[in-house]
Amino acid sequence: MKRGTSSRLARSQQPGPTACAFGTLVAATLVTAWAVGLRVNDTTSMPRGLWQVSGVAAPLRRGQIVTVCLPDTASSRVAVARGYLDAGTCSGGYEPLVKPIAAVAGDLVTVTPQGVNVDGRLVDNTAQRVRDSAGRPLRPFPPGVYPVMPGQVWLLSGHDGRSFDSRYFGPVPVTNVRGLARPLWVLG
């Protein structure tokens, strides 16, 4: 090896000022986007695209789209292990879900294998599946009639019949709702 070659190689492998500036700009943009509530949804259970998340306004109502952290249960741990949920900021280390509220306190939810009814009205695309897209068995929430208690919501996404929602994990505490979500730029 020629004299001085190793020091030139070491210098050429170090990032230059332009690369460092670009990296800093990208990081600052991502932090700013997160700080103003911008989130990207890349799952099929809601339209894919850019969403804005804002603070929660009480009381929560049917039809509002929320971001929510699931309680750390066997169901949520299976969802993480199978890749239904990515890593994120929730207490179990996974990302918040984006889901519409289908039922609130005082509503009556009826769960059947054919679908979920709220106050006697079937929610579209809520038939319980026995296997996921990879053919693995699912454990749906038990069929039955459930009055929604104060401090609970049921989350059901009629956007995609394969959605991981209250059909599989049941009601969610209102305290787990992180924010209200609205689509800014979405596909489908």
Q: Whole domain around residue 145: which residue ranges?
A: 37-187
Work out the pLDDT band at 15, boundaries 50, 70, 90: low
**How much is the average pLDDT of 58-67?**
94
Statement to judge: residues 165 and 178 lie in one domain: yes
Statement to judge: residues 90 and 129 lie in one domain: yes
Q: Tokens standing for 186?
A: 């979405």
**pLDDT at position 64:** 96
Higher pLDDT, 179 or 58: 179
Phi and psi based region of residue 124 (left: phi greater than 0; alpha: psi -120 to 50; beta: remaining): beta
**pLDDT at position 36:** 67
Domains of the chain: total: 2
Work out the pLDDT band at 22, boundaries 50, 70, 90: low
| Side-chain-side CA neighbours of residue 67 (13 Å) | 24
Report the CATH number that the domain containing residue 180 is assigned in CATH. Answer: 2.10.109.10
**How much is the average pLDDT of 110-129?**
96
CB 68 within 8 A of CB 180: no
CB 53 within 8 A of CB 179: yes
Position 9 pLDDT exceeds 60: no
Supply the mean pLDDT for the chain.
86
Nearest C-alpha neighbor of 162 from the set 187, 131, 141, 121: 131
Statement to judge: residues 82 and 29 lie in one domain: no
Statement to judge: residues 7 and 57 lie in one domain: no
Q: pLDDT digits over 135-162, tens only?
A: 999 999 999 999 999 999 999 998 888 9
Statement to judge: residues 119 and 48 lie in one domain: yes
Statement to judge: residues 92 and 18 lie in one domain: no
pTM here? 0.80
Position 117 pLDDT exceeds 70: yes
**How much is the average pLDDT of 172-178?**
96
**pLDDT at position 20:** 64
Statement to judge: residues 14 and 101 lie in one domain: no
**pLDDT at position 58:** 80
